Structure 1
Amino acid sequence: MASWLPNVIHMQSEFVQATWQTIYMTLISSLVAGVFGLATGIFLIVSQPGGILEDSFLYGLLDKVVNILRSIPFIILLAVIAPFTRYLVGTTIGTTAALVPLIIGIFPFYARQIQNALTEIDPGVVEAAEASGSSPTEIIFRVYLREGLPDIIRVSVVTIISLIGLTTMAGAIGSGGLGDIAISIGYARFENDVTIVAMIIILVMVFIVQFVGDWLAKRLEH
């Protein structure tokens, strides 16, 4: 190991810390962005033309906001919202500061994924619920969220995996985590073993998320 990974051997504690930082950024961002993204996706599906709460103004507004935020490259978003990040957390460096751009960067993507997932629900089921006198709230929870749960889990997995990738980009500006180690040490100092090990740890995290998500989706489908 010492001959194959000479630099990694001396950085074991740094790798442990960086891994936990990546998990922290991914977990907190997933929870917060998940709430905002799920709510936005639901509002998009119910307010769209022909929706159970059709509202062209609300739908148009949310649709444009989601499209605009999704169109901004994340590395540019990091710089653009730096003043806002500093206002909220007092700094633009560190794992906590990275949460702000991560949430803003991923929730529009998740919202659109939720909208697409709920669109796949059979309109006849929604119409039957309306005909039986179900309220919009009941339709949202008993039809959209219940019937669409397997697909919601699948798009959540895709979103979390994308979020793990964004944490590595955030590492380029000092957010910490595995991306920071891979760039500031592995790449900048030509220590290729550091970069490779950081990449392997990230791949393991992605595989775990994918496996758990697929397992849950299959269980719920049955």
Structure 2
Amino acid sequence: MYKISINERFLTIGKRKKKEAVNLPYKNLKTVLNALDILYHTKVKSIHIYSSDTKKIWEKLKKTATPVYASGGIVRNNKDNYLFIKRNGFWDLPKGHVEENETFKKAAKREVEEECSISNLHLKKYITTTYHVYQSEQKYFLKIVQWFEMEYKGKEKPQPQISEGIEKAKWVRKKEIPKLMKKTYINIKELISNYVLNE
């Protein structure tokens, strides 16, 4: 099943109907456009498009919303603190665009180092991929982000990359994370809940 955050709500794609969601049977491209329109212009919290051919729906979504590839990290130091950034008033995890001919792994490490001014990160393993649709200049874009677990054993104090609009970069104790999650994005909240708070 695919799960995509849109306008702080979720669009899911699966083979069968889903409880607690507005279910739309897939017919054609209009079904996808209708789902996006509903999530952007109504108070509906969750839409589920279902079909036996989920890959076909996914391909239609990628034609509707241009894919943008990014990579980032959940970074933990030797004090069991986690690295967070604050941008546009929201707490987030460091991440950024994958450059041409760059792997997701290399992009994740580079972006964390650039956005937080730290070095010598140890990339441990791939965690998951998140999906997010956003609008820019009346066009839809599908942000596909691969996340990696990272370890930091250095002593550098994180510094925000001001040129990228980052206001803060800091280590946060695990018990303090729920407070930060009150001012973050829905897909980041779910990522942190699944891979940090539930450890």
- Pairwise same-fold verdict (TM > 0.5): no
Give the TM-score, by structure 2 length.
0.21
Give the TM-score, by structure 1 length.
0.19
Rg comparison, structure with higher value: 1
Q: Which has the higher helix share?
A: 1
